[in-house]
Amino acid sequence: MKSYATLFLLLTIVSVGGVFGQKRAEIPAKLVGNWFEGSMSVLQEQNMTTGSVSSRYGSSIGYVIDADGSFRYAGLIKSTMYNCTTTLWNDRRGKISVSGDTITFTPSKDYWFNSNSCYPSANKEQNKPLDAKTFNYEIGERDGKDWLCMREVGKTSDKDVLCFPRTKD
């Protein structure tokens, strides 16, 4: 009886150790954090119907990368002209993997919403295909801030480079 209990305990330790001993994907500490870029127009426009005043243009685009390898991407662009507000929103989430100077984003969600307050019948929302994308990345410093810059593998133009400053977590 004692040998069965010892064998059971040994098998339990080995199987639990196997689960906990599995190597998780290593996410470099320098990648972990919030990386966002945004802007807002100083020009304002008043909605003649509601009376509310808002900036004519604003955007916030970037990533939150967690140590467990999960990511969240948010992209919001709003523009108001002649009392019409156009909004484009993208919410993408999933996992990343890192190998050398490449990072692969594999989404589990890729939701898009596009609206125009003057033409609500044209508003559109959709879930895009969950295609993984791989980027070369580099983290550097500019103006006393860390910046994450990426370019999709296979693209070569400077206009394809995306850069986001580290923001406070």
Q: What is the pTM of this model?
A: 0.73
Task: Read off the pLDDT of residues 39-81 as tens digits, 9 standing for 90 and up.
Answer: 776 666 666 667 766 667 788 899 999 999 999 999 999 888 7
Q: How is the chain split into domains, by residue range?
A: 28-167
pLDDT tens per residue across span 82-133 = 778 889 999 999 999 999 999 999 999 999 999 998 888 989 999 999 999 9
pLDDT at 8 over 60: no
Q: Is the pLDDT of residue 17 over 60?
A: no
The CA–CA distances, whole Å, from 92 to 39, 70, 148 equal 20, 11, 18
Question: What's the mean pLDDT in 17-45?
Answer: 71
Cross-strand partners of 76: 60, 89
Query: Do residues 165 and 30 touch, judged by C-beta distance below 8 A?
Result: no
Distance of alpha carbon 118 from alpha carbon 82, whole angstroms: 10
Q: How far is CA 45 from CA 9, 84, 107, 140, in A?
A: 71, 10, 37, 37
pLDDT at res. 16: 40
Q: Which run of H or E residues covers position 2?
A: helix 2-20
Helix (H, G, I), strand (E, B) or coil at 123: coil
Mean pLDDT across the stretch 16-28? 53
**Rounded Cα distance, 22 and 19, in Å:** 6
Mean pLDDT over the full length of the chain: 81
Beta strand ranges found along the chain (DSSP E): 33-40, 44-46, 53-55, 57-65, 70-81, 84-99, 102-116, 124-127, 133-142, 145-152, 162-167
Q: Is 70 exceeded by the pLDDT of residue 154?
A: yes
